Structure 1
Amino acid sequence: MTDVVNVPIVAELPPSYAHADDAGADLRAAEAVVLAPGDRALVATGVSIALPDGYAAFVVPRSGLAAKHGITVVNAPGTVDAGYRGEVKVTLLNTDRTEPFSVEIGDRIAQMIVMPVSRAVFVPVDELPSSERGAGGFGSTGVRG
């Protein structure tokens, strides 16, 4: 069974899950905007939430908008902290080079994933323990397997 967390919300168009086993709840636009090719816009959702301590919400792109129209969330994942009480807004970017994209009120523009988060205690040390990967990063494992 999936864990359930109650999240107090103020919203005319509350987020909703398309399927019972979805991780992300769809966020809908509360305003209409037109994104010209290469443009970005901060789009209102009309959603304000009160996450419990120990939780955060992450705003991520919708795969269908990305694949079909080149629409993504600029700062994905956008982080909503437990103490934030303002409106959740989504910074959309139109990556299409030629076609504008219209967002209408009620359109599903992003998804919000609510998750428990751990609080780290950063412990200063003189040296980190070794690992198989070591300091290898960006592209260090190559492209093909």
Structure 2
Amino acid sequence: MSQQLNPTVEIKVLDARLNEWGLPAYQSDMAAAIDLHACVDAPVSIAAGTAAQLVPAGIAVHMGNPYMAATIVPRSGLGHKKGLVLGNSIGVIDADYQGQIMVSVWNRNAPGTEPIVIQPGERIAQMMFVPVLRPVFTTVEEFSESSERGAGGFGSTGVHHAKASA
């Protein structure tokens, strides 16, 4: 595997309990992301219909490469089965951020339903590393080419497949 697709990322363990719960690692040979643990001292109850809460993951990372970033994404089982999703939909960790990774969690269930309780050490989200394009911008009065769609925005391409002409 090339260095480009297998870069080195430094991970600093900020919470020693991760040595017991499990350091960040891929859970299978083809896993796309590493699981993040809730590094909390006591169970955290998240009521439905309330604001998102930040939960520390107990690690910091140093990528040091402007052409990569990390994303924080939900664990599919928690979102689908329990309603625990990310408060910011997806978290983006810039290559130069070196502070503790925090996970914004939100209970998307209907108000009045049971709260979701996060236990210390529970795996609550995933972190996936992705390549980043950093284009050079050129300010123009008009685009160099026109597209068929042009400035057509929300819904401009319809919702049904166009029938092929014979």
TM-score by length of 1: 0.89
CA spacing shift, 1:107–1:5, aligned 2, 3 Å = same
3-12 or 38-47: which moved more? 3-12
Shift, 1:16, TM fit: 2.2
Identity over aligned pairs, percent? 44
Answer yes or no: is the 8 Å Cα contact 1:48–1:87 preserved in 2: yes
Unmatched tracts of structure 1, length 5 or more = none
Answer yes or no: is the 8 Å Cα contact 1:16–1:27 preserved in 2: no
Counterpart Cα distance in 1 of 2:105 and 2:44: 10
What RMSD over aligned residues (CA atoms) do the two structures have, in Å?
A: 1.7
Counterpart Cα distance in 2 of 1:10 and 1:123: 39
Partner of 2:122: 107
Q: 4+ residue runs of structure 1 moved beyond 6 angstroms? A: none
Shift, 1:81, TM fit: 0.9
Shift, 1:121, TM fit: 1.4
Match of 1:55 among 44, 52, 68: 68
The aligned runs of 1:115-126 (5 Å cut-off) are: 115-126=130-141
Counterpart Cα distance in 2 of 1:25 and 1:127: 44
Partner of 2:98: 85
Structure 1 letter corresponding to 2:132: V
Counterpart Cα distance in 1 of 2:104 and 2:47: 14
Match of 2:35 among 26, 33, 46: 26
TM-score by length of 2: 0.79
Shift, 1:43, TM fit: 0.5
Shift, 1:134, TM fit: 2.2
The Cα offsets for residues 70-129 of structure 1, whole Å up to 9 and x where unpaired, read as 111122321111111100001101001112100111111111111221212111011223
Across the two proteins, how many residue pairs are aligned to each other?
145
Shift, 1:19, TM fit: 1.6
Counterpart Cα distance in 2 of 1:92 and 1:19: 25
Match of 2:88 among 75, 91, 113: 75
